[in-house]
Amino acid sequence: MVNVFVIGMAGSGKTTFIQRLNSELHRLKEKPYILNLDPAVHDVPYGANVDIRDSINYEKVMEEYGLGPNGAIMTSLNLFATKIDQVVDLVEKRQESHPYIIADTPGQIECFIWSASGQIITDAFATAGPTVIAYIVDTPRTTTPATFMSNMLYACSILYKTKLPMVIVFNKTDEQDAEFAKTWMTDFLVFQEALNKDGGDEEYMSSLMTSMSLVLEDFYNALDVVSVSSMTGQGFDKFLEVLDSKREEFKVNYEAERERMKKIKQEKEDAQKADSLTRLLKDVGVDKRDPLDVISDQEDDNEDDNEYVEAEPVKDITTTGLQDRYKQALGANGSVEAVDAILKGTQRSA
């Protein structure tokens, strides 16, 4: 199983990409499990197994909380994140019959990636199994160095925010071939030449993008890049091959890191609990080092000591018997009159 979060700017073709990916996987007899996490979308051209709109009314959230479109999306995601454990449980139950879990996200990237709910959702799925980010790029709108650099900076920030493997997907290659973008990512001189042609008099912009392209060189080397056409289906076989490699990459590189982070988090929580307990015991005046008395069953290991012994029958108490016992107890100093007085008091009380 591999979880795929499809992320991209509004208009980059995420929904159409998922529609085509769904068709390709059905063709390969590998039915995906699809989640729609965009509460503001009107229609989706695929059958979503889990749809945020089924449990949260985006327009009602906007009306009740007095929010704008972006605020309502974030609030809807926050409400949905409170039930993410139930969603992950559903996904885990279906993983045998659905090898790919695909999640469509809002076009407003900041509402998902830079919100607490987005972090909670991606972390929950990453804990459950290998998780990959597919960053969709609108290729025809990335032909200038400035828009290309903007997309790459977005991708870089998403990679380091989520700490998950990423695939850059240049979409709409039926309209614009993506070879120019791949060349810009691998050949600094070609990008610099395109930048000089497009820069004009804006020297500060040219200088900034030149510096950024050098900085992002290591970032590019850590990425897998594919070009696809959601309209024709071209390139989706390559995308699925990359997903398989990313699954292994997650297990080798990312899973160990996430386990380390979880261990550190657990240690911090344990330390906080221990500190709280120490302060509590101090407040009630109990030294943590002193053992506390507890109520428990005490059992003797010696079975002989636990044998049942039948009690002797109780003898009838008579006045004569009591008189003899009192005399014996009082000894030589006890007179008959004193014993009789005691007996009379005993009989009256009885």
Cα distance between residue 24 and residue 99, in whole Å: 13
Choice among 142-146, 157-161, 186-190, 250-254 with the minimum mean pLDDT: 250-254
Q: Average pLDDT for residues 53-62, to the nearest whole number?
A: 92
Per DSSP (E only), the strands in the chain are 2-8, 33-36, 50-51, 100-104, 131-138, 166-171, 224-227
Q: Average pLDDT for residues 108-119, to the nearest whole number?
A: 89
Tell me the two tokens of residue 298.
Answer: 């005490």
pLDDT digits (tens, 9 = 90+) for 289-340: 444 444 444 444 554 545 544 545 544 545 555 556 555 555 545 555 655 6
Is residue 66 scored above 70 in pLDDT? yes
Distance of CA 313 to the CA centre of its chain: 70
pLDDT digits (tens, 9 = 90+) for 10-54: 889 999 999 999 999 999 999 999 999 999 988 888 889 999 999
Is residue 165 scored above 70 in pLDDT? yes
Cα distance between residue 266 and residue 239, in whole Å: 36
What is the pTM for the complete model shown?
A: 0.73
Is residue 243 scored above 60 in pLDDT? yes
Q: Which of 129, 121, 198, 220 is nearest to 162 (CA)?
A: 121
Q: Average pLDDT for residues 101-127, to the nearest whole number?
A: 90
Is residue 236 scored above 90 in pLDDT? yes
**312 or 76: which leads in pLDDT:** 76
pLDDT of residue 293: 47
In the chain, the percentage of residues whose pLDDT exceeds 90 is 41
Confidence band of 221 (pLDDT split at 50, 70, 90): confident
The chain-wide mean pLDDT, for the chain, equals 81
CA 10 to each of CA 62, 161, 289: distance values in angstroms, whole numbers, following the listed order: 20, 20, 60
Q: 98 with 87: CB under 8 angstroms?
A: no
pLDDT digits (tens, 9 = 90+) for 182-204: 999 988 889 888 888 876 546 66
pLDDT of residue 158: 92
Is residue 124 scored above 80 in pLDDT? yes
pLDDT digits (tens, 9 = 90+) for 255-287: 776 677 677 777 887 888 888 877 777 766 655
